Protein backbone atom coordinates (compact mmCIF):
# COMPACT_ATOMS: atom_id res chain seq x y z
CA UNK A 1 0.00 0.00 0.00
CA UNK A 2 1.30 3.45 -0.91
CA UNK A 3 1.13 6.46 1.41
CA UNK A 4 -0.27 9.78 0.12
CA UNK A 5 2.29 11.91 1.98
CA UNK A 6 5.30 10.13 0.42
CA UNK A 7 7.27 11.61 -2.46
CA UNK A 8 6.44 9.90 -5.77
CA UNK A 9 9.69 7.91 -5.81
CA UNK A 10 11.67 6.05 -3.17
CA UNK A 11 15.11 4.76 -4.12
CA UNK A 12 16.29 1.75 -2.15
CA UNK A 13 20.03 1.09 -2.08
CA UNK A 14 21.15 -2.33 -0.76
CA UNK A 15 24.79 -2.05 0.33
CA UNK A 16 27.31 -4.69 1.30
CA UNK A 17 31.03 -3.96 1.56
CA UNK A 18 30.60 -1.14 -0.93
CA UNK A 19 33.00 1.43 0.49
CA UNK A 20 34.96 1.66 -2.76
CA UNK A 21 31.88 2.65 -4.79
CA UNK A 22 28.88 3.64 -2.69
CA UNK A 23 29.90 7.27 -2.20
CA UNK A 24 29.94 7.83 -5.97
CA UNK A 25 26.62 6.01 -6.31
CA UNK A 26 24.93 8.14 -3.66
CA UNK A 27 26.35 11.35 -5.12
CA UNK A 28 24.92 10.41 -8.51
CA UNK A 29 21.54 10.06 -6.80
CA UNK A 30 21.90 13.22 -4.74
CA UNK A 31 22.73 15.27 -7.86
CA UNK A 32 19.68 14.19 -9.87
CA UNK A 33 17.86 16.94 -11.76
CA UNK A 34 14.65 15.44 -10.35
CA UNK A 35 14.78 15.97 -6.60
CA UNK A 36 11.36 14.88 -5.30
CA UNK A 37 12.34 11.47 -3.98
CA UNK A 38 13.37 9.77 -0.77
CA UNK A 39 16.23 7.30 -0.38
CA UNK A 40 16.53 4.35 1.98
CA UNK A 41 20.02 2.88 2.33
CA UNK A 42 20.26 -0.57 3.89
CA UNK A 43 23.82 -1.53 4.83
CA UNK A 44 23.97 -5.28 5.17
CA UNK A 45 26.26 -5.94 8.13
CA UNK A 46 29.35 -4.84 6.21
CA UNK A 47 32.86 -5.21 7.57
CA UNK A 48 34.26 -2.14 5.79
CA UNK A 49 33.48 1.60 6.05
CA UNK A 50 30.17 1.43 4.19
CA UNK A 51 28.06 2.53 7.16
CA UNK A 52 30.22 5.58 7.88
CA UNK A 53 30.24 6.63 4.21
CA UNK A 54 26.48 6.23 3.88
CA UNK A 55 25.80 8.16 7.09
CA UNK A 56 27.62 11.16 5.62
CA UNK A 57 24.67 11.45 3.25
CA UNK A 58 22.10 11.40 6.07
CA UNK A 59 22.60 15.15 6.41
CA UNK A 60 20.40 15.31 3.31
CA UNK A 61 16.84 14.97 4.69
CA UNK A 62 15.86 12.80 1.74
CA UNK A 63 18.34 10.10 2.81
CA UNK A 64 17.78 7.52 5.55
CA UNK A 65 20.39 4.94 6.58
CA UNK A 66 19.76 1.62 8.31
CA UNK A 67 22.65 -0.60 9.42
CA UNK A 68 21.31 -4.15 9.50
CA UNK A 69 22.31 -6.01 12.70
CA UNK A 70 22.54 -9.40 10.96
CA UNK A 71 23.69 -10.45 7.51
CA UNK A 72 20.74 -10.64 5.12
CA UNK A 73 22.33 -11.30 1.75
CA UNK A 74 21.48 -9.40 -1.41
CA UNK A 75 18.02 -10.86 -2.04
CA UNK A 76 16.76 -10.47 1.52
CA UNK A 77 18.23 -6.98 1.73
CA UNK A 78 16.26 -6.07 -1.40
CA UNK A 79 13.15 -7.62 0.11
CA UNK A 80 13.66 -5.63 3.33
CA UNK A 81 13.85 -2.46 1.27
CA UNK A 82 10.73 -3.36 -0.71
CA UNK A 83 8.86 -3.85 2.54
CA UNK A 84 9.92 -0.38 3.70
CA UNK A 85 8.81 1.58 0.63
CA UNK A 86 5.42 3.32 0.44
CA UNK A 87 5.89 5.67 -2.53
CA UNK A 88 3.95 5.07 -5.74
CA UNK A 89 7.19 4.24 -7.58
CA UNK A 90 10.40 2.66 -6.37
CA UNK A 91 13.89 1.99 -7.63
CA UNK A 92 16.47 -0.51 -6.42
CA UNK A 93 19.87 1.04 -7.07
CA UNK A 94 22.95 -1.15 -6.78
CA UNK A 95 25.64 0.22 -4.48
CA UNK A 96 28.18 0.31 -7.34
CA UNK A 97 26.07 1.67 -10.21
CA UNK A 98 25.68 5.32 -11.25
CA UNK A 99 22.75 7.39 -12.45
CA UNK A 100 23.10 9.98 -15.17
CA UNK A 101 22.05 13.50 -14.19
CA UNK A 102 18.57 13.17 -15.75
CA UNK A 103 17.89 9.44 -15.20
CA UNK A 104 15.16 9.89 -12.57
CA UNK A 105 13.64 12.86 -14.41
CA UNK A 106 13.31 10.90 -17.65
CA UNK A 107 12.03 7.79 -15.91
CA UNK A 108 9.43 9.69 -13.91
CA UNK A 109 8.21 11.43 -17.06
CA UNK A 110 7.86 7.97 -18.60
CA UNK A 111 6.03 6.71 -15.53
CA UNK A 112 3.51 9.54 -15.80
CA UNK A 113 2.97 8.69 -19.47
CA UNK A 114 2.51 4.99 -18.60
CA UNK A 115 0.91 5.03 -15.13
CA UNK A 116 -0.18 1.37 -15.27
CA UNK A 117 3.22 0.05 -16.33
CA UNK A 118 4.86 -2.35 -13.92
CA UNK A 119 8.28 -0.87 -14.72
CA UNK A 120 9.74 1.93 -16.81
CA UNK A 121 13.45 1.55 -17.42
CA UNK A 122 16.40 2.78 -19.44
CA UNK A 123 19.51 1.28 -20.99
CA UNK A 124 22.59 0.24 -19.06
CA UNK A 125 25.93 1.58 -20.29
CA UNK A 126 28.89 -0.22 -18.79
CA UNK A 127 31.87 1.18 -16.94
CA UNK A 128 34.78 -0.61 -15.30
CA UNK A 129 35.57 -3.84 -17.13
CA UNK A 130 34.48 -3.63 -20.81
CA UNK A 131 33.42 0.04 -20.62
CA UNK A 132 31.04 1.63 -23.09
CA UNK A 133 28.88 -1.38 -23.95
CA UNK A 134 25.14 -0.74 -24.08
CA UNK A 135 22.49 -3.18 -22.87
CA UNK A 136 18.85 -2.57 -23.73
CA UNK A 137 15.62 -4.52 -23.66
CA UNK A 138 12.58 -3.65 -25.81
CA UNK A 139 9.29 -2.73 -24.21
CA UNK A 140 6.66 -5.35 -23.47
CA UNK A 141 3.24 -3.97 -24.37
CA UNK A 142 -0.14 -5.63 -24.82
CA UNK A 143 -2.06 -8.11 -22.70
CA UNK A 144 -0.65 -10.29 -19.94
CA UNK A 145 -0.44 -13.50 -21.99
CA UNK A 146 1.44 -11.80 -24.81
CA UNK A 147 3.81 -10.16 -22.34
CA UNK A 148 4.65 -13.47 -20.68
CA UNK A 149 5.14 -15.33 -23.95
CA UNK A 150 7.36 -12.60 -25.38
CA UNK A 151 9.39 -12.36 -22.19
CA UNK A 152 9.97 -16.11 -22.11
CA UNK A 153 11.09 -16.27 -25.72
CA UNK A 154 12.99 -13.00 -26.10
CA UNK A 155 14.07 -11.62 -22.72
CA UNK A 156 16.55 -12.69 -20.13
CA UNK A 157 18.27 -9.80 -18.42
CA UNK A 158 16.84 -7.82 -15.54
CA UNK A 159 17.00 -4.27 -16.93
CA UNK A 160 13.41 -3.62 -15.90
CA UNK A 161 14.50 -4.57 -12.39
CA UNK A 162 16.75 -1.46 -12.40
CA UNK A 163 14.06 0.96 -13.54
CA UNK A 164 11.20 2.69 -11.77
CA UNK A 165 8.88 -0.05 -10.57
CA UNK A 166 5.29 0.64 -9.64
CA UNK A 167 5.23 -0.20 -5.93
CA UNK A 168 1.82 -1.88 -6.10
CA UNK A 169 3.16 -4.22 -8.81
CA UNK A 170 6.34 -4.86 -6.83
CA UNK A 171 4.41 -5.88 -3.74
CA UNK A 172 1.91 -7.98 -5.72
CA UNK A 173 4.74 -9.90 -7.41
CA UNK A 174 6.54 -10.53 -4.14
CA UNK A 175 10.05 -9.33 -4.95
CA UNK A 176 13.10 -11.41 -5.86
CA UNK A 177 13.30 -14.85 -4.27
CA UNK A 178 16.02 -17.38 -3.54
CA UNK A 179 16.33 -20.39 -5.83
CA UNK A 180 18.15 -23.70 -5.88
CA UNK A 181 20.85 -22.52 -8.33
CA UNK A 182 22.66 -20.15 -5.94
CA UNK A 183 20.11 -17.44 -6.80
CA UNK A 184 21.09 -17.46 -10.47
CA UNK A 185 19.01 -14.93 -12.45
CA UNK A 186 16.66 -14.28 -9.53
CA UNK A 187 16.03 -10.76 -10.79
CA UNK A 188 15.00 -12.08 -14.24
CA UNK A 189 12.39 -14.33 -12.61
CA UNK A 190 11.01 -11.35 -10.73
CA UNK A 191 10.81 -9.34 -13.96
CA UNK A 192 8.59 -12.07 -15.45
CA UNK A 193 6.31 -11.72 -12.43
CA UNK A 194 6.29 -7.95 -12.93
CA UNK A 195 5.34 -8.48 -16.58
CA UNK A 196 2.23 -10.29 -15.37
CA UNK A 197 1.33 -7.18 -13.33
CA UNK A 198 1.75 -4.65 -16.13
CA UNK A 199 3.66 -3.48 -19.17
CA UNK A 200 7.43 -3.06 -19.14
CA UNK A 201 8.32 0.18 -20.91
CA UNK A 202 11.77 1.16 -22.18
CA UNK A 203 12.38 4.90 -21.87
CA UNK A 204 14.86 6.22 -24.42
CA UNK A 205 17.55 8.45 -22.95
CA UNK A 206 17.08 7.24 -19.36
CA UNK A 207 20.53 5.67 -19.28
CA UNK A 208 22.40 4.56 -16.17
CA UNK A 209 25.91 3.25 -15.66
CA UNK A 210 26.46 -0.37 -14.75
CA UNK A 211 29.82 -1.11 -13.18
CA UNK A 212 31.32 -4.31 -14.58
CA UNK A 213 33.89 -5.80 -12.22
CA UNK A 214 35.37 -9.12 -11.31
CA UNK A 215 34.36 -10.99 -8.19
CA UNK A 216 30.66 -10.14 -8.13
CA UNK A 217 27.98 -12.83 -7.85
CA UNK A 218 26.81 -12.31 -11.44
CA UNK A 219 30.39 -12.36 -12.70
CA UNK A 220 30.80 -15.72 -10.99
CA UNK A 221 27.86 -17.12 -12.98
CA UNK A 222 29.81 -16.52 -16.18
CA UNK A 223 32.78 -18.53 -14.92
CA UNK A 224 30.97 -21.61 -13.69
CA UNK A 225 32.00 -24.88 -15.41
CA UNK A 226 29.92 -25.74 -18.49
CA UNK A 227 27.96 -28.45 -16.71
CA UNK A 228 26.97 -26.12 -13.88
CA UNK A 229 25.97 -23.39 -16.33
CA UNK A 230 23.67 -25.79 -18.16
CA UNK A 231 22.16 -26.99 -14.89
CA UNK A 232 21.59 -23.40 -13.75
CA UNK A 233 19.79 -22.58 -17.00
CA UNK A 234 17.58 -25.66 -16.67
CA UNK A 235 16.75 -24.66 -13.09
CA UNK A 236 16.03 -21.08 -14.16
CA UNK A 237 13.63 -22.11 -16.92
CA UNK A 238 11.91 -24.54 -14.56
CA UNK A 239 11.51 -21.77 -11.98
CA UNK A 240 9.77 -19.60 -14.56
CA UNK A 241 7.38 -22.46 -15.33
CA UNK A 242 6.74 -22.76 -11.60
CA UNK A 243 5.43 -19.21 -11.62
CA UNK A 244 3.35 -19.90 -14.72
CA UNK A 245 1.86 -22.95 -13.00
CA UNK A 246 0.81 -20.76 -10.05
CA UNK A 247 -1.48 -18.70 -12.29
CA UNK A 248 -5.12 -19.60 -12.86
CA UNK A 249 -5.00 -19.76 -16.65
CA UNK A 250 -7.03 -21.53 -19.36
CA UNK A 251 -5.41 -24.72 -20.74
CA UNK A 252 -4.71 -23.06 -24.12
CA UNK A 253 -2.76 -20.29 -22.39
CA UNK A 254 -0.86 -22.76 -20.27
CA UNK A 255 0.06 -24.80 -23.34
CA UNK A 256 1.32 -21.71 -25.17
CA UNK A 257 3.45 -20.68 -22.20
CA UNK A 258 4.86 -24.18 -21.83
CA UNK A 259 5.91 -24.05 -25.49
CA UNK A 260 7.54 -20.65 -24.91
CA UNK A 261 9.34 -22.04 -21.88
CA UNK A 262 10.83 -24.84 -23.95
CA UNK A 263 12.03 -22.37 -26.58
CA UNK A 264 13.66 -20.35 -23.83
CA UNK A 265 15.37 -23.45 -22.48
CA UNK A 266 17.08 -24.03 -25.82
CA UNK A 267 17.74 -20.32 -26.37
CA UNK A 268 15.74 -20.16 -29.59
CA UNK A 269 16.38 -16.40 -29.63
CA UNK A 270 20.10 -15.53 -29.74
CA UNK A 271 19.74 -12.59 -27.31
CA UNK A 272 18.54 -14.86 -24.52
CA UNK A 273 20.59 -15.59 -21.48
CA UNK A 274 24.24 -15.43 -20.56
CA UNK A 275 25.25 -18.83 -21.93
CA UNK A 276 25.73 -18.67 -25.69
CA UNK A 277 26.86 -22.28 -25.90
CA UNK A 278 23.33 -23.55 -25.20
CA UNK A 279 22.03 -22.17 -28.50
CA UNK A 280 24.87 -24.04 -30.25
CA UNK A 281 24.12 -27.48 -28.81
CA UNK A 282 24.16 -30.46 -31.14
CA UNK A 283 21.09 -32.67 -31.41
CA UNK A 284 22.12 -34.94 -28.53
CA UNK A 285 22.93 -31.96 -26.34
CA UNK A 286 19.53 -30.40 -26.99
CA UNK A 287 17.79 -33.66 -26.15
CA UNK A 288 19.80 -33.91 -22.93
CA UNK A 289 18.78 -30.37 -21.97
CA UNK A 290 15.14 -31.20 -22.60
CA UNK A 291 15.37 -34.40 -20.55
CA UNK A 292 16.98 -32.56 -17.64
CA UNK A 293 14.31 -29.86 -17.86
CA UNK A 294 11.53 -32.46 -17.92
CA UNK A 295 12.96 -34.14 -14.82
CA UNK A 296 13.19 -30.83 -13.00
CA UNK A 297 9.63 -29.87 -13.92
CA UNK A 298 8.39 -33.26 -12.77
CA UNK A 299 10.01 -32.85 -9.36
CA UNK A 300 9.26 -29.16 -8.79
CA UNK A 301 5.83 -28.27 -10.21
CA UNK A 302 2.92 -28.41 -7.77
CA UNK A 303 0.20 -30.95 -8.40
CA UNK A 304 -2.84 -29.82 -10.33
CA UNK A 305 -4.20 -29.10 -13.80
CA UNK A 306 -1.46 -26.59 -14.62
CA UNK A 307 1.24 -29.16 -13.92
CA UNK A 308 -0.47 -31.72 -16.14
CA UNK A 309 -0.86 -29.20 -18.98
CA UNK A 310 2.76 -28.01 -18.82
CA UNK A 311 4.14 -31.55 -18.71
CA UNK A 312 1.85 -32.77 -21.49
CA UNK A 313 2.79 -29.86 -23.77
CA UNK A 314 6.48 -30.30 -23.03
CA UNK A 315 6.29 -34.02 -23.81
CA UNK A 316 4.30 -33.44 -27.00
CA UNK A 317 6.68 -30.93 -28.59
CA UNK A 318 10.03 -31.71 -26.94
CA UNK A 319 11.42 -33.91 -29.73
CA UNK A 320 10.30 -31.50 -32.47
CA UNK A 321 11.86 -28.49 -30.72
CA UNK A 322 15.06 -30.35 -29.88
CA UNK A 323 15.49 -31.41 -33.53
CA UNK A 324 15.15 -27.87 -34.88
CA UNK A 325 18.26 -26.32 -36.46
CA UNK A 326 20.65 -25.24 -33.73
CA UNK A 327 23.53 -23.42 -35.40
CA UNK A 328 27.09 -24.55 -34.81
CA UNK A 329 27.49 -27.85 -32.95
CA UNK A 330 30.05 -27.08 -30.30
CA UNK A 331 28.62 -28.54 -27.11
CA UNK A 332 27.82 -32.19 -26.45
CA UNK A 333 25.20 -33.90 -24.32
CA UNK A 334 27.79 -34.33 -21.60
CA UNK A 335 27.26 -30.65 -20.74
CA UNK A 336 24.07 -31.52 -18.87
- Give the number of other CB atoms < 10 A from CB of residue 15: 29
Alpha helices in 174-273 (DSSP H): 186-197, 217-222, 226-245, 251-265
Taken in order 224, 225, 226, 230, the sign of the CA dihedral is negative
- What pLDDT, on a 0 to 100 scale, did the predictor assign at position 132? 87
pTM score of the predicted model = 0.92
- What pLDDT, on a 0 to 100 scale, did the predictor assign at position 212? 82
Q: What are the pLDDT tens digits along the chain (336 aa)?
A: 566 678 999 999 999 999 999 999 999 999 999 999 999 999 999 999 999 999 999 999 999 999 999 999 999 999 999 999 999 999 999 999 999 999 999 999 999 999 999 999 999 999 877 788 899 999 999 999 999 999 999 876 789 999 999 999 999 999 999 999 999 999 999 999 999 999 999 999 999 999 887 778 888 888 899 999 999 999 999 999 999 999 999 999 999 999 999 999 988 676 677 788 888 888 888 899 999 999 999 999 999 999 999 999 999 988 887 777 654 333 333 333
CA dist list (Å): 260 to 151, 192, 239: 9, 13, 14
- What pLDDT, on a 0 to 100 scale, did the predictor assign at position 125? 94
- What pLDDT, on a 0 to 100 scale, did the predictor assign at position 268? 67
Buried b / exposed e over 97-122, threshold 16 CB at 10 Å, is bbbbeebbbbbbbbbeebeebbbbbb
Alpha-carbon distance of 79 to 88, in angstroms, equals 17
Taken in order 68, 45, 72, 58, the sign of the CA dihedral is positive
Contact 14, 78 (CB under 8 A): yes
Amino acid sequence: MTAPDCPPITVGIPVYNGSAFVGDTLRSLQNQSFGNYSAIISVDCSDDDSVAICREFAADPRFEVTAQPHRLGWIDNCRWLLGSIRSRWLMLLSHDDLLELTTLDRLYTGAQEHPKAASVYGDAVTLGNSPGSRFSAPSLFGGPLGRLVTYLIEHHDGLAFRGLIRTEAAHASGGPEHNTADDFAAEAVWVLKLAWQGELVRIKGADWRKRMRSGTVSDGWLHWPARRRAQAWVSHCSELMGFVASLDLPPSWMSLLAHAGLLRLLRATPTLGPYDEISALDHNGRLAMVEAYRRTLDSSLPTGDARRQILATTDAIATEVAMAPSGHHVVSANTV
